[in-house]
Amino acid sequence: MSDSRPIAIDAMGGDHAPHEIVAGAVHAVRERGLSVVLVGSPRVLYEALADHDATKEVPIVRAEEALAMDEGALASLRRPRSSIAVACHLVRRGDAAAVVSAGSTAGIVATGRLRLKGQQGVLRPAIAVPIPTLPNPTVLIDAGANAEVKPEMLVQFAHLGTAYAELAYGIETPRVGLLTIGSEAEKGNKLVKRAHELLQASPGLRFEGNVEGHDLLTGKVDVITTDGFTGNVALKTMEGAVRYAFTELRAAVTDSRLARLGAAMQRSRIRELRRRLDPEAYGGAVLLGLNGTVVIAHGSSRADGISAACKLAADLSSVGIVSRIGDKIATTHRSHRLW
Residues near its own copies, by CB under 8 A: 70, 72, 106, 144, 147-148, 179-182, 184, 186-190, 192, 212-218, 228-230, 232-246, 248-249, 252-253, 255-256, 258-259, 261-266, 269-270, 272-273, 277
User: How near is the Cβ of 37 to its own copies at its closest, in Å?
Assistant: 30
* Cβ distance to its own copies smaller for residue 32 or 276: 276
CB-nearer residue toward its own copies: 82 or 230? 230
CA distances from 161 to 109, 129, 195, 225 (A): 17, 9, 15, 8
> What is the closest distance, in whole angstroms, from the C-beta atom of residue 272 to its own copies in the complex?
7
Least separation in angstroms between residue 92's CB and its own copies is: 27
Residue 37: which of 82, 85, 100 has the closest Cα?
A: 100
* Secondary structure, 3-state, 39-78: EECHHHHHHHHHHCCCCCCCCEEECCECCCCCCCHHHHHH
Asked if 310 contacts 25 with a C-beta cutoff of 8 angstroms, the reply is yes
Q: Is residue 288 a contact partner of residue 128, using CB atoms and an 8 Å limit?
A: yes
CB of 161 to its own copies, least distance (A): 17
Rounded (5°) CA angle 61-279-318? 50
In 3D, which of 134, 114, 136, 135 has the Cα closest to residue 125? 114
Nearer to its own copies, 6 or 305 (CB): 305
Q: Is the dihedral of CA 23, 131, 6, 31 positive or negative?
A: positive
- Residue 146 or residue 162: which is nearer to its own copies going by CB? 146
203 or 240: whose CB is closer to its own copies? 240
Output helix, strand, coil percentages for the chain, rounded to the nearest 5. 50, 15, 35
Least CB distance to its own copies at residue 313 (A): 24
Q: Which is nearer to its own copies, 208 or 215 (CB)?
A: 215
Nearer residue to its own copies within complex by CB, 100 or 238: 238
**Do 34 and 7 touch, CB atoms closer than 8 A?**
yes
Q: Using alpha carbons only, give the angle 51, 54, 60 rounded to the nearest 5 degrees.
A: 105
Shortest spacing between CB 129 and its own copies, in angstroms = 13
Tell me the HSE value of 113 on the side-chain side, using a 13 A CA sphere.
Answer: 17
Give the nearest distance from C-beta 35 to its own copies in angstroms. 34
